[in-house]
């Protein structure tokens, strides 16, 4: 995956750019809906799913907890790209690797 390294330096050992964290697997895009945890954010992804019974598409969404590094400052409403990594905690398996659009 070719990503541009952020201009800001950080000393977070769980940073995919300046630390030791290896990124592998899936990459997803979504909107940040919560930044209330320390070094963590909640990213919401919206998609449509076909319902055969009603012959229509239903709007669905899922939320994923991701690690936020100091070198990529994010806020609620930002559209980000997250990448899968090793388990960082009970619920965190993703890390923010790119800010696509700021709020």
Report if residue 5 sits inside a domain: no
Nearest residue to 21 (alpha-carbon basis) of 76, 78, 88, 89: 88
Report if residue 31 sits inside a domain: yes
Report if residue 43 sits inside a domain: yes
Given a contact cutoff of 8 angstroms between Cβ atoms, the answer to whether 82 and 67 are in contact is no
Instruction: Give residue for tokens 């009603």.
Output: 54
Q: What is the DSSP letter of 6?
A: P
Predicted TM-score (pTM) of the model is 0.90
Report if residue 4 sits inside a domain: no
Structural domain range at position 44: 23-101
pLDDT tens, the chain, 103 aa long: 678 888 889 999 999 999 999 999 999 999 999 999 999 999 999 999 999 999 999 999 999 999 999 999 999 999 999 999 999 999 999 999 999 999 8
CATH number at residue 90: 2.40.50.1000
- Provide the token pair at 95: 């890390």
CA angle centred on 60, ends 56 and 32, rounded to 5°: 150
Report if residue 18 sits inside a domain: no
Report if residue 10 sits inside a domain: no
């Amino acid at each position: 995956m070719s990503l541009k390294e952020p201009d800001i330096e950080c000393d977070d050992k769980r940073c995919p750019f300046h630390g030791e964290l290896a990124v592998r697997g899936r990459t997803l895009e979504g909107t940040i809906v919560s930044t209330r945890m320390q070094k963590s954010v909640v990213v919401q992804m919206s998609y449509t799913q076909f319902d055969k019974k009603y012959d229509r598409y239903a709007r669905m969404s899922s939320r994923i907890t991701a690690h936020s590094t100091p070198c990529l400052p994010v806020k609620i409403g930002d559209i980000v790209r997250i990448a899968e990594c090793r388990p960082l905690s009970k619920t965190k398996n993703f890390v923010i690797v790119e800010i696509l659009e700021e709020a």
